[in-house]
Every structure is written in C-alpha cells, then in structure tokens.
Amino acid sequence: MAVSEYDLIILGSGPAGEGAAMNAVKLGKRVAVVEQFAFVGGSCTHQGTIPSKALRHSVKQIMDFNTNPMFREIGEPRWFSFPKVLKRAENVIQKQVQSRALYYARNRIDLFFGKGRFIDEHTIEVHENNGNAEQLHATNILIATGSRPFHPEDVDFNHPRVYDSDTILTLSHTPKRMIIYGAGVIGSEYASIFSGLGVLVDLVDTRDRLLSFLDKEISDAMGYQLRKMNVIVRHNEEYQTVEPMNDGVVLHLKSGKKLKADLLLWANGRTGNTQDMGLEQIGLSANGRGQLEVNERYQTTLSHIYAAGDVIGWPSLASAAYDQGRSAASDLAGDLRRRFVDEVPTGIYTIPEISSLGHTEEELTSQAVPYEVGKAFFSRLARAQITGEVVGMLKILFHRDTLEVLGIHCFGDQASEIVHIGQAVMSQQGDANSLRYFLNTTFNYPTMAEAYRVAALDGLNRLF
C-alpha cells in the first residue's frame, strides 16, 4: 500500500480541525484532514452548535409573532411543528458545509472521508467510506475528533422514546410533554426551544442551581424566564431508572418522584471521541470520559501528537476549539504567536441569551476583592423598547479603587454579541481596562451597546 507524506494529519474537521488546517497551510505546511462522516464540519455543524442555534432562532421568531399585538392585525397566533422548524436548520447546515468545503479546496488541503486509525506514532490508516484504504504519514498529528453525548449503560438509547442531543434532531413529531435530564447549557437551550413550541417541559437539574457556573443573579433570571415559559425546573434530583414504554417514558428519580412524558431527552454530559482509534498502538490513553490530557501547547504525552477541541474537555465550545486548533498548528510550525486559550466568553443560546466573561460576584467576594456593580436594564434602553426585547440586563463588575473591569455578565437579546465590547476592554492593559472607557466613549444612539455607558454611570454613582 502506497503511503502519502504530509507535515500534518488532522483527525476531525470540526472547528478545532478546521482552525488547525487553515493556519498550518498558511504557515507552509502540507496538510491532510481525515473526517469519518461524509461531510466536513464535525458535530458542531451537523449535531450541535449550528442546528440548535438555527432552531432557537426560528422558535424565537414564532414566539415574537405570537406575542406581538401588532401582528394580530395580520392573523391569529400560529402553531408550528418541530419537524417544520427543523427544516430551517437543515438549510443552514447545507450552507455551512458548502462554505467549509470551499475553504479546504481553496487551500489545497487533502480530505479523506473515512475512519482514521493509528498504525504507529506517525502513520494513520484511513478506511474510506468508498471502500478504499489509505495510509498517511506525517511529522505531526492533531487529534480533533470532538465529542458525543454521554450514554449511561443502564439507559436504553435504542428505544424510540429516548433521545440524546444528537438524535433529537431526527425527531419527526412534536411531543406534548417531554423530560430533559440535565440542566446544563444543552439542556437549558433545548428547554427554551421546546417550551417555545408549546411543549410542556420537565427540566431535571442534578445541582441546586440552574447553570451554577454563572453569576447567581444571571442564573436566577434564566430560571425565572424558564418558569414563565411553563418549564418545571426540578433541582437536586438524580435518576434511579429510565422506563421506556410504548406510550411514553417514565423517569424514576432517587427522591421517589416519577415523571412521565412522551419522550426523554438525555442532556447530561459528553464523551470524547477517542474510541477505536488505535491509541493503544502508540501508548496514549484517554480518561474515563474519553478525553485526552494536553499541556499549554496542546501536546499530548507524545510531543508530536497534539489534541484540541472537545476531545480535551473544557471549555467544550466551538469558539475555543477553533482557536485551540490554530494555536496547536502555530506551535508545531514554530510560530511564536501561539497562545493557550483560557479567556473564553460564555455564550448560552437560551431564550433570552446569556453571555459572560471574567469573575462573578461570588468569586470576587470569596477572594475579598473590593468590587462594585453597575447595571443597565434593557427595559430602560431606547433600542430595546423599539425592538420590544426589553427582558434582560447588562452587569459590569469593577474594582472600587482602580475601576478595572473584572467581569461582564449579560442576559437578554443579543447578549452573545454585546459581551464582546466588554471583552475588548478587559483585554487591554492599565487605564485602558477601566470603567472610564465606557464613560468617555460616545456610543451610537439608540443601540444596545449604549448599555455599557448606562451601566458604567450606574456603577460610578454607587461609589462614595
């Protein structure tokens, strides 16, 4: 069998693999990408970020139409089925695949569609989907195979009433009632989506607070909004057994409660895709969640083999994965502009959105940092009043003495966009990272960005 030579072989074409491939080519490396599915883009494009966010957008449009009095002149509120809304997401996925395929072609990157497996530390054998087998040899290899939903062994995911965050995208009907087990980012997002379609949702949270890594005031606000949408949030609950039946599924909780619904969506954890890769052939091993350990250069214990994206665990975000892949490619190419990706804004696409960066009030209090708070409520902003998106707030945490910005927390429409203004300021040094930037900058009016000026003035007024 002939062996093709490369500088870098990348396993996986999701954000981490794509970021690494494009950067490596720009740095003069010959690159091959192995993708086990028939299309590029990885889980991010086909099962995760893109379809769920496209679904969310469509559902939000439906909610806006059904709750806006102005549209009653056009007609009565409309009901849309889940499969009908899903078609919008499918269109977006196709466009994303076309764009990404063009990137690989334009940069002369060789694509192999099939399962890649280590033969030795520098060789990958690819069993392509068309039946061919290829051997690829490279100086460096990047593992960017992503993750998949975690499946406990005692839950029957083959039953037609039991879904995970991948298979829910194959749902061919709209349930009347559903249970979502796991109230993390994925569970909370799908709770918003389905409740927006009129589905009665039981959201089972294994912790004592929704999205407990967020600033408490923000997570409390999200919990309130979910309850307004008739979502029942059940905290501090763990499953005992899952009992699928012909007419539904019963979730037995350790507390003795029994919940019955048309279907169960399991959204509790993810597992790295490191199975059946031949890692044992090269002395690498994954942890109990299928994740690989890397250093700050994204190297595994074998210095020429890198890993990036969901397969290494935290923060398991497409945005971070892309930058991790780019950084790994920079390192193997000797480019000193590499960085370890540790300052990552949180973006949660619930309805409304949540985004944050930096410290929370709880963290600053525990660290005895003298901080103050500035807030801008969307209900008082002209732009929000114009658009009708008045639910939400921007919250700035800053040092009382230096006015250094320590945290940005945003809840409401366009939160994932608004946070980046604060991110830009927080990345500066010295006086540039100060509450005074927002006070001394003229913002367009009316805009949502104006919330920074309002919040800064509010915070300044709290000082004495």
pLDDT of residue 283: 95
Domains of the chain: residue spans and CATH: 3-149+271-332 (3.50.50.60), 162-268 (3.50.50.60), 352-461 (3.30.390.30)
pLDDT of residue 77: 66
pLDDT category at 72 given cuts 50, 70, 90 is low
Q: What are phi and psi of 370, to 5 degrees?
A: -75, 100
User: Average pLDDT, stretch 199-228?
Assistant: 96
Angle at 58 between CA 348 and CA 388, to 5 degrees: 75
Share of residues in the chain with pLDDT > 90 (%):
83
Helix (H, G, I), strand (E, B) or coil at 79: coil
Q: How far apart are CA 230 and CA 279, in angstroms?
A: 47
Q: What are phi and psi of 189, to 5 degrees?
A: -65, -45
> In the 8-state DSSP scheme, what is residue 144?
-
Going edge to edge, which strands form the sheet with 248-253?
Answer: 239-245, 248-253, 258-261
- Tell me the pLDDT tens digit for each residue of 100-123: 999 999 999 999 999 999 999 999
Helix (H, G, I), strand (E, B) or coil at 307: strand
Residue 47 region by backbone torsions, left for phi larger than 0, else alpha for psi between -120 and 50, else beta: alpha
Of 226, 230, 232, 300, which Cα lies nearest the Cα of 260? 232
Mean of the per-residue pLDDT values for the chain? Answer: 94
pLDDT category at 1 given cuts 50, 70, 90 is low
Indicate the pTM of the whole model: 0.93
Residues 6+ apart with CB under 8 A from 440: none
Within 10 A of 270 (CB to CB), how many other CB atoms are there? 23
- Tell me the pLDDT tens digit for each residue of 142-196: 999 999 999 999 999 999 999 999 999 999 999 999 999 999 999 999 999 999 9
With contact defined as beta carbons under 8 Å apart, do 204 and 181 qualify?
yes
Long-range contacts, stretch 315-318, CB < 8 angstroms, 24+ apart = 315/344, 316/147, 316/270, 317/344, 317/347, 318/14, 318/15, 318/44, 318/48, 318/49
- pLDDT of residue 79 exceeding 90, the answer is no
Of 175, 236, 169, which Cα lies nearest the Cα of 200? 175
- pLDDT of residue 361 exceeding 90, the answer is yes
